[in-house]
Amino acid sequence: MKSTIDRLISVSGLTSIAIIVAITFFLFYNWIPLFETVEPIGFFFGTLWYPTAVPPFYGILPLLDATVWISSLAIFITIPSAFVIAIFITYIVPKKFRYILKTFLEIFSSIPSVILGLIGLSIVAPYFQNVLNMDTGQNILNAAIMLSLITIPMPASMMEDFISAFSPEQKEGSQALGANEFETLTRVVIPGLKGPFASITMLSLGRIFGETMIVLMVAGNAAIFPSNIFQPARVLSSTIAAEMGETPVGTPHFYALFGIGAILFVITFLINVAGEMIRFRYERQMMK
């Protein structure tokens, strides 16, 4: 029985690796032909993305810049908010309500992203434009807020698990030395969980980086270099979603979109690998 389970686990692992390799090959196979007509420097460092112009421009730098803007702001909102929620669940909410609240978080995280996109488009965008007197409500700030809303439940739940499972001996030792609960949290628990929290941050960033529908709906879809968070922008993932359906197969535009997909895949993969490396390093330190 045990050997059968081991074989199934091995097959599952090898299958996952094979799928990742196949996806990588598929993306790069459909990207390389682009460089028969477009210079690599023009693609990676070009400042204009006008694939339907005459002549066309395939520079992804404004898309990458907007992706960094939105992802950075979203993670800046997500992690502190998730931490506050985790502390609230662990230390303030009565035990009999913790399960209910965590269940609600998990349900909220399963809401389709298009629903939050509709909320951002129909409620948040008009509020920004009419009440706060912005030029447009479809901007980087709107996209970052909506992205953080869909991302917060995952890191909040994971942080709560780590805080709850933190060594009770260390907590009791801190309190025996005269520290109150807040001092124990800030001087013992949080410093002791820097590794897991850093890993959670990287995993959350990977989730944010690859999100498509919310950004497509509320970021404004302007392929420009934004100078502030109140301007519209277009990210890598939303460019693929917006243009692939109307792009003829085998054209440079088609290959350029696959190139964006390959870059997005590589960056997301590296972010997740970094998160796993941080977690692995922390586990090794804890075992010493």
Q: How confident is the model at residue 133 (pLDDT cuts 50, 70, 90)?
A: confident
Instruction: Tell the burial category of 19 from Cβ atoms under 10 Å away from its Cβ (0-12, 13-18, 19+).
Output: exposed
Do 199 and 275 contact (CB within 8 A), yes or no?
yes
* Residue 32: pLDDT band with limits 50, 70, 90: very high
pLDDT digits (tens, 9 = 90+) for 68-98: 999 999 999 999 999 999 888 888 888 778 8
Domains of the chain: 31-287 (1.10.3720.10)
With a CB cutoff of 8 Å and minimum separation 6, the contacts of 127 are 137
Q: Helix (H, G, I), strand (E, B), or coil: what is residue 165?
A: coil
User: Which pLDDT score, from 0 to 100, does residue 54 have?
Assistant: 86
Alpha helices in 219-251 (DSSP H): 236-243
At 173 the pLDDT is 75
Selection from 219, 236, 78 nearest residue 140 by Cα: 219
Residues 146-156: pLDDT tens digits?
Answer: 999 999 998 99
Q: 81: how many CB neighbours lie within 10 A of its CB?
A: 16
How far is the C-alpha of 112 from the C-alpha of 125, rounded, in Å?
A: 19
Please write the tens of the pLDDT for every residue from 211-239: 888 999 999 888 889 888 999 999 999 99
φ and ψ at 35, to 5 degrees? -75, 0
- Phi-psi label, residue 51: left if phi above 0, alpha if psi -120 to 50, beta otherwise: alpha
Q: Is 49 helix (H, G, I), strand (E, B) or coil?
A: strand
pTM score: 0.87
Identify residue 14 by its one-letter amino acid code: L
Q: Residues, the chain, total?
A: 288
Average pLDDT value over all residues in the chain: 86
Q: Tell me what pLDDT residue 262 has.
A: 93
CA distance 118 to 278: 36
Q: What is the pLDDT of residue 1?
A: 55
Please choose, from the candidates 105, 78, 90, the residue with its C-alpha nearest in 3D space to the C-alpha of residue 197: 78
pLDDT value of residue 274? 83
pLDDT of 288 over the 60 cut = no
Q: Binning pLDDT at 50, 70 and 90, where does residue 2 land?
A: low
